[in-house]
Chain A
Amino acid sequence: MIYQLSVPAAVPGVEEIRILEWHGEPGATFENGDLIVELETHKAVVEVRAGQSGVLRAILADAGDWREIGVRLALFSDSAADDMSAAEGDAGDLVVEFDVT
Protein backbone atom coordinates (compact mmCIF):
# COMPACT_ATOMS: atom_id res chain seq x y z
CA MET A 1 0.00 0.00 0.00
CA ILE A 2 1.08 3.60 -0.66
CA TYR A 3 1.00 6.26 2.06
CA GLN A 4 1.56 10.01 2.03
CA LEU A 5 3.11 12.30 4.61
CA SER A 6 1.61 15.81 4.60
CA VAL A 7 2.53 18.91 6.58
CA PRO A 8 0.79 18.47 9.95
CA ALA A 9 -1.08 21.26 11.75
CA ALA A 10 1.16 20.60 14.74
CA VAL A 11 1.52 24.17 16.07
CA PRO A 12 -1.52 26.46 16.45
CA GLY A 13 -1.61 29.47 14.11
CA VAL A 14 1.03 28.11 11.74
CA GLU A 15 0.06 28.20 8.06
CA GLU A 16 3.39 27.33 6.51
CA ILE A 17 6.54 25.49 7.61
CA ARG A 18 10.12 25.13 6.42
CA ILE A 19 11.69 21.70 5.99
CA LEU A 20 14.71 21.51 8.27
CA GLU A 21 16.13 18.03 7.70
CA TRP A 22 15.16 14.64 6.30
CA HIS A 23 16.39 11.60 8.21
CA GLY A 24 16.54 9.14 5.35
CA GLU A 25 16.81 8.95 1.58
CA PRO A 26 14.33 7.30 -0.78
CA GLY A 27 14.70 3.57 -0.23
CA ALA A 28 15.28 3.92 3.50
CA THR A 29 13.31 1.63 5.80
CA PHE A 30 11.47 3.07 8.81
CA GLU A 31 10.35 1.30 11.95
CA ASN A 32 7.69 2.51 14.33
CA GLY A 33 9.17 5.46 16.29
CA ASP A 34 11.95 6.34 13.81
CA LEU A 35 12.51 10.04 13.10
CA ILE A 36 11.52 10.83 9.50
CA VAL A 37 11.80 14.58 9.13
CA GLU A 38 12.19 17.76 11.16
CA LEU A 39 10.00 20.73 10.29
CA GLU A 40 10.52 24.30 11.43
CA THR A 41 7.84 26.76 12.53
CA HIS A 42 8.30 30.31 13.79
CA LYS A 43 9.00 29.08 17.28
CA ALA A 44 9.42 25.33 17.36
CA VAL A 45 10.92 22.34 15.62
CA VAL A 46 8.41 19.59 14.88
CA GLU A 47 9.92 16.10 14.84
CA VAL A 48 7.81 13.78 12.73
CA ARG A 49 8.22 10.12 13.71
CA ALA A 50 6.89 7.04 11.98
CA GLY A 51 3.87 5.47 13.65
CA GLN A 52 4.13 2.39 11.43
CA SER A 53 6.95 0.61 9.63
CA GLY A 54 7.53 1.17 5.92
CA VAL A 55 9.81 2.33 3.17
CA LEU A 56 10.42 5.96 2.17
CA ARG A 57 9.86 6.05 -1.59
CA ALA A 58 9.89 9.71 -2.65
CA ILE A 59 10.74 13.07 -1.08
CA LEU A 60 8.71 15.93 -2.57
CA ALA A 61 10.20 18.91 -0.71
CA ASP A 62 13.87 19.48 0.12
CA ALA A 63 15.44 20.95 3.22
CA GLY A 64 14.97 24.72 3.10
CA ASP A 65 11.74 24.52 1.09
CA TRP A 66 8.50 26.06 2.40
CA ARG A 67 5.19 24.18 2.35
CA GLU A 68 1.70 25.03 3.58
CA ILE A 69 -0.26 22.90 6.04
CA GLY A 70 -1.73 19.84 4.34
CA VAL A 71 0.66 19.76 1.39
CA ARG A 72 2.19 16.37 0.58
CA LEU A 73 5.86 16.06 1.58
CA ALA A 74 6.76 12.42 0.92
CA LEU A 75 5.47 9.03 -0.18
CA PHE A 76 5.90 5.72 1.63
CA SER A 77 4.97 2.12 0.99
CA ASP A 78 4.73 -1.05 3.03
CA SER A 79 7.54 -2.66 1.06
CA ALA A 80 10.12 -1.61 -1.50
CA ALA A 81 8.33 -3.75 -4.07
CA ASP A 82 5.03 -1.82 -4.00
CA ASP A 83 4.12 -0.24 -7.33
CA MET A 84 4.24 3.56 -6.99
CA SER A 85 2.19 4.34 -10.09
CA ALA A 86 -0.97 4.57 -7.95
CA ALA A 87 0.57 7.33 -5.79
CA GLU A 88 -0.80 10.16 -7.93
CA GLY A 89 -4.26 9.35 -6.67
CA ASP A 90 -5.46 8.96 -3.11
CA ALA A 91 -2.67 7.68 -0.96
CA GLY A 92 -3.66 7.01 2.64
CA ASP A 93 -2.03 9.09 5.35
CA LEU A 94 1.02 7.61 6.98
CA VAL A 95 0.53 7.14 10.72
CA VAL A 96 2.93 9.53 12.44
CA GLU A 97 3.68 11.00 15.84
CA PHE A 98 4.99 14.51 16.54
CA ASP A 99 7.32 15.95 19.10
CA VAL A 100 7.21 19.73 19.24
CA THR A 101 10.38 21.11 20.80
Chain B
Amino acid sequence: MSNDQFLTTRMFFREAVGRAVREEMEADDRVLVLGQDVGAFGGSYREFDGLFKIFGPERMRDTPVAEAAAVGIAAGAAAAGLRPLCVITYMDFLMIGFDALINYAAKLRYKSGGRLSAPLVVKTTAGAQGQGVAHSQCIEAWLISVPGLKVVAPSTPEDAYGLMKSALRSDGPVVYIDHKRLFPAPGNVPVAETVIPFGKAAIRRRGVDLTIVAHSYMVRVALETAGLLEAEDLSCEVVDLRSLAPMDVNTLCRSVERTGRLLTLEEGQVTCGIGTEVATRIFERIGVRPWIRVGALPAPVSSNPVLEAACVPNADRVAQAARTLAAR
Protein backbone atom coordinates (compact mmCIF):
# COMPACT_ATOMS: atom_id res chain seq x y z
CA MET B 1 0.00 0.00 0.00
CA SER B 2 1.26 3.44 -0.86
CA ASN B 3 2.07 5.91 1.88
CA ASP B 4 0.92 8.79 -0.31
CA GLN B 5 -2.35 9.02 1.53
CA PHE B 6 -0.46 10.03 4.69
CA LEU B 7 1.88 12.56 3.05
CA THR B 8 1.08 16.21 3.59
CA THR B 9 2.44 19.47 2.29
CA ARG B 10 2.36 22.77 4.18
CA MET B 11 0.55 25.66 2.51
CA PHE B 12 -1.27 28.91 3.12
CA PHE B 13 -5.05 28.88 3.48
CA ARG B 14 -5.43 30.67 0.14
CA GLU B 15 -3.26 28.08 -1.58
CA ALA B 16 -5.46 25.27 -0.27
CA VAL B 17 -8.54 27.00 -1.68
CA GLY B 18 -6.77 27.67 -4.98
CA ARG B 19 -5.64 24.08 -5.28
CA ALA B 20 -9.19 22.77 -4.77
CA VAL B 21 -10.58 25.15 -7.39
CA ARG B 22 -7.82 24.33 -9.88
CA GLU B 23 -8.30 20.58 -9.50
CA GLU B 24 -12.07 20.81 -9.89
CA MET B 25 -11.74 23.14 -12.91
CA GLU B 26 -9.35 20.69 -14.53
CA ALA B 27 -11.72 17.78 -13.84
CA ASP B 28 -14.92 19.51 -14.97
CA ASP B 29 -15.20 22.06 -17.79
CA ARG B 30 -18.46 23.33 -16.37
CA VAL B 31 -16.74 24.86 -13.30
CA LEU B 32 -16.00 28.59 -13.65
CA VAL B 33 -15.24 31.42 -11.23
CA LEU B 34 -16.83 34.86 -11.20
CA GLY B 35 -16.46 37.78 -8.84
CA GLN B 36 -14.52 40.95 -8.14
CA ASP B 37 -10.78 40.71 -8.90
CA VAL B 38 -10.84 36.95 -9.54
CA GLY B 39 -9.18 37.32 -12.98
CA ALA B 40 -5.68 38.64 -13.65
CA PHE B 41 -5.42 40.02 -10.10
CA GLY B 42 -5.73 36.51 -8.66
CA GLY B 43 -8.49 37.08 -6.11
CA SER B 44 -8.95 39.59 -3.29
CA TYR B 45 -6.97 37.29 -0.99
CA ARG B 46 -4.75 35.95 -3.81
CA GLU B 47 -6.57 32.64 -3.51
CA PHE B 48 -6.79 32.26 -7.30
CA ASP B 49 -3.14 33.08 -8.05
CA GLY B 50 -2.12 31.45 -11.32
CA LEU B 51 -5.60 30.28 -12.35
CA PHE B 52 -6.19 33.11 -14.85
CA LYS B 53 -3.10 31.98 -16.74
CA ILE B 54 -4.35 28.39 -16.89
CA PHE B 55 -8.06 28.92 -17.52
CA GLY B 56 -8.27 32.41 -19.09
CA PRO B 57 -10.97 35.09 -18.92
CA GLU B 58 -13.79 32.76 -20.03
CA ARG B 59 -13.56 30.73 -16.83
CA MET B 60 -12.04 33.34 -14.47
CA ARG B 61 -14.52 36.17 -14.92
CA ASP B 62 -14.12 39.57 -13.32
CA THR B 63 -17.40 41.20 -12.36
CA PRO B 64 -18.20 44.80 -11.37
CA VAL B 65 -18.93 45.79 -7.77
CA ALA B 66 -22.48 44.46 -8.12
CA GLU B 67 -23.03 41.48 -5.85
CA ALA B 68 -26.73 41.07 -6.64
CA ALA B 69 -25.90 40.77 -10.32
CA ALA B 70 -22.99 38.39 -9.70
CA VAL B 71 -25.09 35.98 -7.61
CA GLY B 72 -27.98 36.31 -10.06
CA ILE B 73 -25.80 35.51 -13.06
CA ALA B 74 -24.24 32.59 -11.18
CA ALA B 75 -27.67 31.21 -10.23
CA GLY B 76 -28.84 31.47 -13.84
CA ALA B 77 -25.65 29.90 -15.18
CA ALA B 78 -26.05 27.06 -12.67
CA ALA B 79 -29.66 26.48 -13.72
CA ALA B 80 -28.46 26.37 -17.34
CA GLY B 81 -25.93 23.62 -16.59
CA LEU B 82 -22.69 25.31 -15.52
CA ARG B 83 -21.12 24.98 -12.07
CA PRO B 84 -20.17 28.53 -11.08
CA LEU B 85 -18.14 29.59 -8.07
CA CYS B 86 -19.33 33.08 -7.24
CA VAL B 87 -16.93 35.05 -5.05
CA ILE B 88 -18.27 37.68 -2.65
CA THR B 89 -15.29 39.34 -0.98
CA TYR B 90 -17.10 40.35 2.23
CA MET B 91 -19.96 38.31 3.64
CA ASP B 92 -21.78 41.54 4.53
CA PHE B 93 -22.40 42.11 0.82
CA LEU B 94 -23.87 38.67 0.29
CA MET B 95 -27.02 40.31 1.71
CA ILE B 96 -27.45 42.03 -1.66
CA GLY B 97 -27.40 38.65 -3.36
CA PHE B 98 -29.95 36.99 -1.07
CA ASP B 99 -32.85 37.22 -3.53
CA ALA B 100 -31.11 35.20 -6.24
CA LEU B 101 -29.50 32.85 -3.73
CA ILE B 102 -32.46 32.20 -1.45
CA ASN B 103 -35.57 32.82 -3.58
CA TYR B 104 -34.21 31.27 -6.76
CA ALA B 105 -31.14 29.04 -6.39
CA ALA B 106 -32.08 27.35 -3.11
CA LYS B 107 -35.66 26.67 -4.28
CA LEU B 108 -35.05 25.73 -7.89
CA ARG B 109 -35.09 21.96 -7.51
CA TYR B 110 -38.27 22.02 -5.41
CA LYS B 111 -39.99 24.55 -7.66
CA SER B 112 -39.18 22.66 -10.85
CA GLY B 113 -40.26 19.29 -9.48
CA GLY B 114 -36.66 18.08 -9.58
CA ARG B 115 -36.11 18.94 -13.26
CA LEU B 116 -33.65 21.76 -12.55
CA SER B 117 -30.98 22.34 -9.93
CA ALA B 118 -28.56 25.16 -9.19
CA PRO B 119 -25.07 23.75 -8.55
CA LEU B 120 -23.78 27.11 -7.44
CA VAL B 121 -21.10 27.78 -4.83
CA VAL B 122 -20.90 31.19 -3.18
CA LYS B 123 -17.49 31.65 -1.59
CA THR B 124 -17.33 34.48 0.88
CA THR B 125 -15.22 35.78 3.78
CA ALA B 126 -16.57 36.61 7.22
CA GLY B 127 -15.13 38.02 10.39
CA ALA B 128 -13.76 41.05 12.16
CA GLN B 129 -10.34 42.41 11.32
CA GLY B 130 -10.31 46.17 11.66
CA GLN B 131 -12.71 46.92 8.83
CA GLY B 132 -15.78 48.16 10.62
CA VAL B 133 -19.52 47.74 10.76
CA ALA B 134 -20.25 46.53 7.21
CA HIS B 135 -17.09 44.50 6.50
CA SER B 136 -16.91 42.32 9.62
CA GLN B 137 -20.13 40.42 10.08
CA CYS B 138 -20.71 36.69 10.49
CA ILE B 139 -24.24 36.07 9.21
CA GLU B 140 -24.04 32.32 8.64
CA ALA B 141 -26.84 31.78 11.17
CA TRP B 142 -29.23 33.59 8.80
CA LEU B 143 -28.39 31.08 6.09
CA ILE B 144 -28.76 27.75 7.86
CA SER B 145 -32.52 28.21 8.18
CA VAL B 146 -32.97 28.24 4.38
CA PRO B 147 -34.21 24.85 3.11
CA GLY B 148 -32.11 23.75 0.16
CA LEU B 149 -28.99 25.69 1.13
CA LYS B 150 -25.78 24.07 2.38
CA VAL B 151 -23.36 26.07 4.51
CA VAL B 152 -19.76 25.16 5.37
CA ALA B 153 -17.05 27.09 7.26
CA PRO B 154 -13.57 25.51 7.49
CA SER B 155 -11.05 26.37 10.21
CA THR B 156 -7.93 24.80 8.64
CA PRO B 157 -6.30 24.80 5.20
CA GLU B 158 -6.92 21.05 4.99
CA ASP B 159 -10.65 21.53 5.50
CA ALA B 160 -10.72 24.54 3.18
CA TYR B 161 -9.31 22.29 0.48
CA GLY B 162 -11.55 19.30 1.13
CA LEU B 163 -14.77 21.24 1.71
CA MET B 164 -14.26 23.44 -1.36
CA LYS B 165 -13.89 20.29 -3.46
CA SER B 166 -17.11 18.88 -2.01
CA ALA B 167 -18.84 22.20 -2.60
CA LEU B 168 -17.86 22.29 -6.27
CA ARG B 169 -19.20 18.74 -6.74
CA SER B 170 -22.44 19.43 -4.87
CA ASP B 171 -25.72 19.71 -6.76
CA GLY B 172 -27.37 22.26 -4.52
CA PRO B 173 -26.34 25.81 -3.79
CA VAL B 174 -23.55 25.96 -1.20
CA VAL B 175 -22.25 28.91 0.78
CA TYR B 176 -18.60 28.35 1.62
CA ILE B 177 -17.29 30.75 4.29
CA ASP B 178 -13.65 31.71 4.96
CA HIS B 179 -12.49 33.98 7.78
CA LYS B 180 -9.99 36.82 7.38
CA ARG B 181 -8.11 35.89 10.55
CA LEU B 182 -7.52 32.35 9.36
CA PHE B 183 -5.53 33.43 6.30
CA PRO B 184 -2.13 34.13 7.97
CA ALA B 185 -1.80 30.62 9.41
CA PRO B 186 -0.51 27.84 7.15
CA GLY B 187 -1.45 24.20 7.64
CA ASN B 188 -0.72 20.72 6.37
CA VAL B 189 -2.83 19.46 3.50
CA PRO B 190 -2.76 15.91 2.10
CA VAL B 191 -0.65 15.51 -1.01
CA ALA B 192 -3.18 13.03 -2.39
CA GLU B 193 -6.43 14.40 -3.73
CA THR B 194 -9.01 14.23 -0.92
CA VAL B 195 -12.59 15.34 -0.45
CA ILE B 196 -14.18 16.15 2.91
CA PRO B 197 -17.88 15.30 2.91
CA PHE B 198 -20.42 17.77 4.25
CA GLY B 199 -22.09 17.02 7.58
CA LYS B 200 -19.01 15.72 9.40
CA ALA B 201 -17.77 17.60 12.46
CA ALA B 202 -14.18 17.13 13.71
CA ILE B 203 -13.07 16.74 17.31
CA ARG B 204 -10.02 19.00 17.60
CA ARG B 205 -9.23 18.27 21.22
CA ARG B 206 -10.45 15.63 23.64
CA GLY B 207 -11.74 16.62 27.05
CA VAL B 208 -14.01 15.35 29.82
CA ASP B 209 -15.54 18.33 31.69
CA LEU B 210 -17.31 20.29 28.96
CA THR B 211 -17.73 20.48 25.19
CA ILE B 212 -16.99 23.68 23.24
CA VAL B 213 -18.67 23.71 19.83
CA ALA B 214 -17.36 26.30 17.37
CA HIS B 215 -16.64 26.85 13.70
CA SER B 216 -14.28 28.87 11.52
CA TYR B 217 -11.86 31.19 13.37
CA MET B 218 -13.58 30.61 16.71
CA VAL B 219 -12.18 27.05 16.71
CA ARG B 220 -8.78 28.63 17.28
CA VAL B 221 -10.18 30.71 20.13
CA ALA B 222 -11.77 27.54 21.58
CA LEU B 223 -8.44 25.72 21.44
CA GLU B 224 -6.67 28.65 23.08
CA THR B 225 -9.33 28.62 25.81
CA ALA B 226 -8.88 24.89 26.33
CA GLY B 227 -5.15 25.49 26.75
CA LEU B 228 -5.76 28.20 29.39
CA LEU B 229 -8.21 26.06 31.34
CA GLU B 230 -5.98 23.00 31.34
CA ALA B 231 -3.85 24.83 33.91
CA GLU B 232 -6.96 25.02 36.14
CA ASP B 233 -7.69 21.30 35.74
CA LEU B 234 -10.70 22.03 33.59
CA SER B 235 -10.69 19.71 30.60
CA CYS B 236 -12.43 21.00 27.45
CA GLU B 237 -13.40 19.00 24.40
CA VAL B 238 -13.37 21.15 21.25
CA VAL B 239 -15.65 20.21 18.36
CA ASP B 240 -15.25 21.97 15.02
CA LEU B 241 -18.58 21.94 13.17
CA ARG B 242 -16.96 22.44 9.72
CA SER B 243 -20.38 21.97 8.12
CA LEU B 244 -23.22 24.08 9.56
CA ALA B 245 -25.91 22.79 7.21
CA PRO B 246 -26.11 19.85 7.22
CA MET B 247 -25.05 19.63 10.87
CA ASP B 248 -23.35 16.55 12.37
CA VAL B 249 -25.75 16.09 15.28
CA ASN B 250 -24.45 12.57 16.04
CA THR B 251 -20.93 13.74 16.84
CA LEU B 252 -22.26 16.69 18.86
CA CYS B 253 -24.57 14.46 20.92
CA ARG B 254 -21.90 11.88 21.64
CA SER B 255 -19.52 14.58 22.86
CA VAL B 256 -22.06 16.30 25.13
CA GLU B 257 -23.24 12.96 26.50
CA ARG B 258 -19.65 12.26 27.52
CA THR B 259 -18.84 15.66 29.03
CA GLY B 260 -22.31 16.62 30.31
CA ARG B 261 -21.92 20.34 29.54
CA LEU B 262 -22.13 22.48 26.40
CA LEU B 263 -20.51 25.81 25.57
CA THR B 264 -21.38 27.14 22.13
CA LEU B 265 -19.03 29.71 20.66
CA GLU B 266 -19.48 31.86 17.57
CA GLU B 267 -18.26 35.23 16.33
CA GLY B 268 -21.73 36.23 15.15
CA GLN B 269 -24.71 37.23 17.26
CA VAL B 270 -26.07 34.67 19.73
CA THR B 271 -29.73 35.55 19.14
CA CYS B 272 -31.07 32.84 16.82
CA GLY B 273 -27.43 31.94 16.35
CA ILE B 274 -25.50 28.84 15.37
CA GLY B 275 -25.01 27.99 19.05
CA THR B 276 -28.71 28.13 19.78
CA GLU B 277 -29.35 25.75 16.90
CA VAL B 278 -26.55 23.43 18.06
CA ALA B 279 -27.95 23.31 21.59
CA THR B 280 -31.51 22.75 20.41
CA ARG B 281 -30.55 19.87 18.12
CA ILE B 282 -28.53 18.20 20.88
CA PHE B 283 -31.08 18.67 23.66
CA GLU B 284 -33.95 17.48 21.44
CA ARG B 285 -32.15 14.17 21.20
CA ILE B 286 -30.41 13.60 24.54
CA GLY B 287 -32.26 15.92 26.91
CA VAL B 288 -31.21 19.22 28.37
CA ARG B 289 -27.72 19.73 29.78
CA PRO B 290 -26.09 22.83 31.31
CA TRP B 291 -25.33 25.21 28.42
CA ILE B 292 -23.81 28.67 27.94
CA ARG B 293 -23.64 30.48 24.61
CA VAL B 294 -20.87 32.92 23.79
CA GLY B 295 -20.83 35.23 20.79
CA ALA B 296 -20.45 38.85 19.76
CA LEU B 297 -21.98 41.48 22.02
CA PRO B 298 -25.27 42.84 20.66
CA ALA B 299 -23.53 45.73 18.94
CA PRO B 300 -22.08 46.46 15.50
CA VAL B 301 -18.39 45.60 15.07
CA SER B 302 -16.48 48.87 15.16
CA SER B 303 -13.43 49.74 13.08
CA ASN B 304 -11.99 51.09 16.33
CA PRO B 305 -9.70 48.20 17.41
CA VAL B 306 -10.56 48.58 21.11
CA LEU B 307 -14.28 48.39 20.43
CA GLU B 308 -13.84 45.57 17.93
CA ALA B 309 -11.91 43.51 20.47
CA ALA B 310 -14.56 44.22 23.10
CA CYS B 311 -17.34 43.04 20.78
CA VAL B 312 -16.08 39.70 19.49
CA PRO B 313 -15.26 36.77 21.78
CA ASN B 314 -11.70 36.09 22.90
CA ALA B 315 -10.18 33.29 24.98
CA ASP B 316 -10.50 35.20 28.28
CA ARG B 317 -14.21 35.72 27.79
CA VAL B 318 -14.75 32.12 26.74
CA ALA B 319 -12.73 30.87 29.70
CA GLN B 320 -14.84 32.95 32.09
CA ALA B 321 -18.01 31.43 30.61
CA ALA B 322 -16.50 27.93 30.82
CA ARG B 323 -15.72 28.38 34.53
CA THR B 324 -19.30 29.47 35.18
CA LEU B 325 -20.59 26.49 33.21
CA ALA B 326 -18.33 24.02 35.00
CA ALA B 327 -19.67 25.20 38.37
CA ARG B 328 -23.26 24.27 37.44
- Which residues of A come within 8 Å of B, CB atoms? 11, 13-16, 18, 41-43, 66
Contacts A42-B12, A42-B13, A42-B14 given; does A18 touch B186 at CB 8 Å? yes
Q: Which 8 pairs from chain A and chain B are nearest by CB?
A: A13-B184, A42-B183, A14-B184, A42-B12, A42-B184, A66-B10, A16-B186, A15-B185
Contact A43–B45 (Cβ < 8 Å):
yes
- Which residues of B come within 8 Å of A, CB atoms? 10, 12-14, 45-46, 129, 181, 183-186
Q: Can you report 6 residue pairs joining A to B where beta carbons are below 8 Å apart? A: A14-B184, A15-B184, A16-B184, A43-B46, A66-B10, A66-B186
Docked Cα-Cα span, A35 to B46, in Å, equals: 25
Chain B residues with Cβ below 8 Å from A13 are: 129, 181, 184
Cβ-defined partner of A43 (8 Å) among B181, B183, B186: B183
Chain B residues with Cβ below 8 Å from A11 are: 184
Docked Cα-Cα span, A66 to B185, in Å, equals: 11
Docked Cα-Cα span, A16 to B186, in Å, equals: 7
Chain A residues with Cβ below 8 Å from B10 are: 18, 66
Docked Cα-Cα span, A43 to B129, in Å, equals: 15
Chain B residues with Cβ below 8 Å from A15 are: 184-185
Docked Cα-Cα span, A14 to B13, in Å, equals: 12
Chain B residues with Cβ below 8 Å from A16 are: 184-186
Chain A residues with Cβ below 8 Å from B185 are: 15-16
The closest CB in chain B to the CB of A17 belongs to B186
Among A11, A14, A16, A42, chain B packs the most CB atoms within 10 A around the CB of: A42
The closest CB in chain A to the CB of B187 belongs to A16
Smallest CB–CB gap between B90 and chain A, Å? 16
Docked Cα-Cα span, A13 to B127, in Å, equals: 14
Docked Cα-Cα span, A15 to B185, in Å, equals: 7
Docked Cα-Cα span, A11 to B129, in Å, equals: 14
Docked Cα-Cα span, A41 to B186, in Å, equals: 9
Docked Cα-Cα span, A55 to B121, in Å, equals: 53
